[in-house]
Structure 1
Amino acid sequence: MCTGRCSRCIAVTLYPLVVISIICNIVLFFPGGDIKYAKDGHITEEVKYMGGLVGGGLMVLIPALYIHLTGQQGCCGNRCGMFLSIAFAAVGVAGALYSLTVAVLGLKNGPLCKTKVIWETPLEFSDNSYLTDDTWRGECTEPKDIVQFNTGLFGTLLATSCLQLILCAIQMINGLFGCLCGTCSDKGPL
């Protein structure tokens, strides 16, 4: 097994996950595609934590770039470089965990929405789970389809952060093998 090749595969897989996380977080600021809710401050609290932008975005992108460089032949592809990739992958794990936590909280608490006359999170303290019980979705009158909007985007953030977490953990193990055993020494293309 070539630890450098494995590093490149992990990094290349992390890039689209980072982009998906960032896009989901940005879109969450505009429920129904309307900017007025962000202007008025009627945004779900978990969106403001920017789990997808900071955690699954920047905190995974920087390690992905380093991990990619570690996998390049002749560039950081030594024992020291693989050791440093463990530390960078640990930062990626922390970012993915942050994104995962925010996504879980966003799904658990439900969206901020207008019910009859006030803005609140009516699904936060409900006995039934709004994710499985469709009758709760009618509680929110504005923004239109906010429950499905938040569920879809926070669900996507949850899935991408789980994949990022797994990939960064694999890189930590790969980096350990590369640090202890060395990287590939073949002269052919990786």
Structure 2
Amino acid sequence: MCCSVGFARSLGLALLPLALCCILANLLLLFPMGEITYVEQDRLTSYIWYFGGLGGGGLLMLIPAVTFISLGKCDCCWNESLMMCGSALAAVVGLAGSCYCFVISGLTLLQGPQCFTAKGWAYPFAERAGRYLLEPESWSVCHQPVHIVEWNVTLLCVLLGLAVLEFIICLLQLGSGLVNAVCRPCCYKQEYSLNA
């Protein structure tokens, strides 16, 4: 059991920086090139306001991270099983958060940024189903904010990658927690009967 608790703690410690990076990436999306004027004028991509990185990959991910890190040792085997069930439930919350972050980031990437073009403020890439990602020469259609396509693509790809890592970590703990919650009482009964 000590091994599984140590494993869960190490996964929690891995989740913390990932969650903080998701929060930071989402905050940077709100302020293209460090400017606040686009937020004030509501000139950001609509999906950014769903806060995939801030809510799903960030704050929601802190629940499993803190739960995994705070797993303690317990003398009672049944309490250990309950503790691992709790960590499995926290992992499910993390899976939901990482999926939310991934979906929102993907939709934002497919929609493309809202920017000022020759025709005014628009979503010039919205109907191209993400094909603009393979055509960097078309990015110059956005005049303001400067380099908004590069800014969004970079940060959204970071969020997608972080969401995948968070999903894998939570999936590992879900499997570990369920196996330990189910198998540990059986092992304990066998040990007890052998000692008797």
Using structure 1 for the length normalisation, give the TM-score. Answer: 0.90
> Max radius of gyration: which structure?
2
Find the aligned partners of 1:87 and 1:75 in 2 and give their Cα distance. Answer: 22
Q: Quick check: 1:14 aligned with 2:15?
A: yes
Indicate the SS of the match to 1:177.
helix
- After TM superposition, what 4+ stretches of structure 1 lie above 4 angstroms from structure 2? none
Find the aligned partners of 1:75 and 1:6 in 2 and give their Cα distance. Answer: 19
Post-superposition Cα deviations, 1:22-53, rounded to whole Å, max 9, x if no partner, equal: 00001100011100000000011111110001
Find the aligned partners of 2:130 and 2:83 in 1 and give their Cα distance. Answer: 50
Find the aligned partners of 2:50 and 2:26 in 1 and give their Cα distance. Answer: 10
Q: Aligned match of 1:87 in 70, 86, 89?
A: 89
Post-superposition Cα deviations, 1:36-86, rounded to whole Å, max 9, x if no partner, equal: 00000001111111000100011110111011112x334997110101111
Post-superposition Cα deviations, 1:74-128, rounded to whole Å, max 9, x if no partner, equal: 4997110101111111010000000000111111111111112421110111277
Tell me the equivalent position of 1:155: 157
Tell me the equivalent position of 1:108: 110
Tell me the equivalent position of 2:131: 129
Unmatched 5+ stretches in structure 1: 186-190
| Cα distance, 1:176 vs structure 2 | 0.8
Tell me the equivalent position of 2:73: 73
Find the aligned partners of 1:107 and 1:127 in 2 and give their Cα distance. Answer: 9
Find the aligned partners of 2:61 and 2:149 in 1 and give their Cα distance. Answer: 28
Q: Quick check: 1:29 aligned with 2:30?
A: yes
**CA RMSD in angstroms, aligned pairs only:** 2.0
Of Structure 1 and Structure 2, which has the larger fraction of its residues in helix? 2
Tell me the equivalent position of 2:191: none
Tell me the equivalent position of 1:188: none
After TM superposition, list the pairs within 5 Å mapping 1:160-179 onto structure 2. Answer: 160-179=162-181
Find the aligned partners of 2:75 and 2:19 in 1 and give their Cα distance. Answer: 23
8 A contact 2:87–2:174 mirrored in 1: yes
Find the aligned partners of 1:107 and 1:8 in 2 and give their Cα distance. Answer: 33
Find the aligned partners of 1:115 and 1:45 in 2 and give their Cα distance. Answer: 17
Counterpart residue identity of residue 161, structure 2? A
Tell me the equivalent position of 2:5: 4
Between 108-117 and 157-166, the greater mean CA deviation after superposition: 108-117
| Cα distance, 1:19 vs structure 2 | 0.4
8 A contact 1:3–1:177 mirrored in 2: no
8 A contact 1:123–1:136 mirrored in 2: no
Find the aligned partners of 2:75 and 2:66 in 1 and give their Cα distance. Answer: 12
Percent of aligned pairs sharing the same letter:
33
Using structure 2 for the length normalisation, give the TM-score. Answer: 0.88
Between 124-133 and 55-64, the greater mean CA deviation after superposition: 124-133
Unmatched 5+ stretches in structure 2: 189-196
